[in-house]
A = this chain, B = another copy of it.
């Protein structure tokens, strides 16, 4: 249980090559990981480059070794809505598109130059056939992510602009300096003007 608590308290970006992430976070011995790494592609993308766009199937889960990705959607009135950021040590995907082979309704875009590992659909499942213990650790990680999403739903339904901003600060720490403010406002579900007001008020103390 302690590891789950630590996962919660260290949710900032963490630079970790993908094979090391498998070893350190999923706790799969490097020797076990090795034969599977041939299925992983590595890719560099430049700031602003797109990995997926609406209407295309998202074939991979993208693990970030360096840089930041964001996933967003555009509503009927042309407004962007940021669903997720993924800095170092995180992964991002439109799971519905990846798992069900359906066209995505999201954009995934680099907001910094990135080094990525491209994880194909059944990668973890394939390793788990050789090393079932992986699933226990992965269950922790999925539960942790559910907690974060449930917390985000709660904030979107019930929290003020200031509460949302402070929550982001405390959870994601210095990462905040790497995200343009208009994207942060979009992620928080508030207007850029509200975000500026909150930041000015907090700066005044």
Contacts and interface: CB of A to CB of B under 8 A. Distances in A.
A156 interface: yes
A31 interface: no
Contacts of A146: 95, 142, 145-146, 149
Contacts of A48: none
A72 to B, nearest CB: 9
Contacts of A154: 73, 81, 83
Interface of A: 1, 4-5, 8, 73, 75-76, 79, 81-84, 95-96, 99-100, 125, 128, 132, 135-136, 138-139, 142-143, 145-147, 149-154, 156-160, 186, 189
27 contacts: A1-B100, A4-B100, A5-B100, A73-B154, A73-B158, A76-B160, A81-B158, A83-B150, A83-B153, A84-B150, A95-B143, A95-B146, A96-B150, A96-B151, A99-B143, A99-B147, A128-B135, A135-B135, A135-B136, A135-B139, A139-B139, A142-B146, A152-B153, A153-B153, A153-B156, A156-B156, A157-B186
